[in-house]
Amino acid sequence: MDLPERIERAHYAMLLGVYYDKEIPLEGGILMLQSRIDSPQCNHMTRVHDPSKLPLWIDQMVAVNRTPAVYCSPLCDSCTIGTVLEAGFKQEFNDAWMVFEGEPPSLPSIAIKNASPYHIKDYLAVFAAAFSSGVYNLGHEWKDTMREAIHAGKGQHFVALDNDRVLGVVSLFNDGAEYGIYNVGTLPHQRRKGVGAALTLYAVRAARLLGANSVFLQTELESSNEAFYQKIGFRTIFTAPCFVKPTQHTSS
């Protein structure tokens, strides 16, 4: 199994029960669902190996009040994109999957600690503030999901501090030997001060200390975020667009 396949499979496995509630095998692919959050980021078909089953998937997603969406990664059949475009789907977003290999550079001089129970409330507040803008504006919806994951002991969570005041957050999840970085977020007024870089590299180092050969993350393709991660040592190894087909459905 090559690296792109390993990390994408690890992504779904490690976040099942965090960002995804259910993994439902259907004929020709896998349906990933999140009961609380109505977004194609968390509700889509993936690992598609028979795009001819598209009408089945559309019906299945509409039945659970979700907009039909297909995530077209390298694990999908090569004709998937053509099939979904012919069916009237439109591109919603495009992910850059990035990896860091080797040893991270020296960390910026910013205090970073494991998020203790004392810090969890502030972690969640900073997380919500950091991700409550932009295209998806889902910080507050994801906050409840992250609270449950933290209390369930899923993942490792770190905070950047200034005199015990939380400036930024990051989470590290793993599935076996594969490690992924998520939730890199900084308070809006604390950005461009090195906090995000310090948090990301700290998570890389934490994964390396646990035996990881590489660490992955996702961000928007051809965005300032992708350029930022490239600057601190990540490289993009594959891209994955998500396509949606607007239909009449009721949000749950």
Give me the pLDDT at residue 140, please.
Answer: 67
Each as own residue / partner, the long-range contacts of residues 75-80 (CB below 8 Å, 24 or more positions apart, any chain) are 75/4, 75/5, 75/8, 75/9, 75/46, 75/47, 75/48, 76/29, 76/46, 76/47, 76/48, 76/49, 76/51, 77/48, 77/49, 77/50, 77/51, 79/51, 80/48, 80/51
The predicted structure's pLDDT at residue 187 = 86
- Residue 137 is predicted with a pLDDT of 53
pLDDT at 194: 87
Q: What per-residue confidence (pLDDT) applies to 109?
A: 82
For domain 103-212, say whether CATH 3.40.630.30 is its number: yes
* Residue 249 pLDDT: 53
Amino acid 135: pLDDT: 47
Mean pLDDT by 10 residues, the chain (252 residues): 90 93 94 90 94 94 94 94 96 96 82 89 88 60 84 93 91 96 88 89 95 95 95 96 80 44
What pLDDT is attached to residue 119? 87
Q: Residue ranges per domain, the chain?
A: 3-96+240-244, 103-212
